[in-house]
Structure 1
């Protein structure tokens, strides 16, 4: 009976920094920085929108995004973005990509 219960793999994909960089350059990709606004202001990946994952309105704000577009999420080190990616997948986003090493692994310059 126990064999019937399988753990479900995450509905999002972890990418290397190179894969993530390639993905966010694609037309139609949505890039979401889930850090606090002060962290975002200190430097973020160009083109990112800031939607803080720990904010009370996170679910409401991401609901305004197009669920069918490839959605790339990141934070400082990958912990918060993993949680955000899981929430996006659970909310019906079909193409969710996470940067597990966060901006600490980002090889290109950040913008302010």
Structure 2
């Protein structure tokens, strides 16, 4: 029997080729960056095509008072707790971030990518470029109008102990999805009046409570029955879903 001899150099090329092929395949699967810098037109188109996404304005309150994009959540990049607030945004949905010209938002996008966000779009030229392009802006729609009420853990525990069903509604003043849910929650309050106690809690003003109930994103809704959690929903929740869950818990 003749022995088949393959030169070492050929083996090297063979296995190098397989390795390179695997690397290329891996690269192709992960070649799409987490952060994409896009112009105003693409930014607008992406927001329209992704209504579940979050538009995030990282400018100062003074800047925002002069105008901002419609339905923008606002978190000041210079706030000491910027990352903690941003961490309350769901990481599996697209985030459209902007500042005045694009510098702060680029830094914010980089921080968010390191925090585990999966898709971030940074507006090149920022708010100034958006205005110069003639796109729609809104003034003062997001300005907080009331000071958030604070509660102790003992107060909420007492409320839960005295009532069979309690819904804890964790939100923040800068969270647009939270504001979108207000009409839904108001309707549910009417539908279940006398049956369920609805307690709204600002997660920024009640950080200890948010930590106690393991709230990592807003809005978060927690239904407690006889002191035990029976339902938890984070993000936008259809009224039908919550109604069905509440009825089962009565």
Q: TM-score, normalised by structure 1?
A: 0.88
Q: CA deviation at 1:29?
A: 1.0
1:105 to 129, 137, 146: 129
- State the number of aligned residues: 104
Write the mapping of 1:87-98 to structure 2, written as runs, cut at 5 A: 87-98=111-122
Residues of 1 paired with 2:79 and 2:47: CA distance?
24
**Structure 2 CA distance for partners of 1:77 and 1:99, relative to 1, 3 Å:** same
| Cross-structure match for 1:13 | 36
Cα deviations across residues 30-49 of structure 1 (Å, max 9, x unaligned)?
Answer: 00000001111110000101
Residues of 1 paired with 2:44 and 2:98: CA distance?
11
Cα deviations across residues 49-106 of structure 1 (Å, max 9, x unaligned)?
Answer: 1101111010110110000000010000000000000011010000001002001111
- 5+ residue gaps in structure 2? 1-32, 140-250
Moved over 3 A (4+): none
- 5+ residue gaps in structure 1? 1-9
Residues of 2 paired with 1:100 and 1:80: CA distance?
11
Residues of 2 paired with 1:11 and 1:23: CA distance?
15
| Cross-structure match for 1:83 | 107
Query: Partner of 2:70: helix, strand, or coil?
Result: coil
Q: CA deviation at 1:22?
A: 0.8
Write the mapping of 1:1-112 to structure 2, written as runs, cut at 5 A: 11-25=34-48, 26-106=50-130, 107=133, 108-112=135-139
Q: TM-score, normalised by structure 2?
A: 0.40
Q: Which has the higher helix share?
A: 2
Q: Which has the larger radius of gyration?
A: 2
- Are 1:23 and 1:29, in contact at CA under 8 Å, matched by a contact in 2? no
Residues of 1 paired with 2:95 and 2:60: CA distance?
19
Residues of 1 paired with 2:90 and 2:125: CA distance?
25
Residues of 2 paired with 1:46 and 1:57: CA distance?
24
**Structure 2 CA distance for partners of 1:44 and 1:76, relative to 1, 3 Å:** same
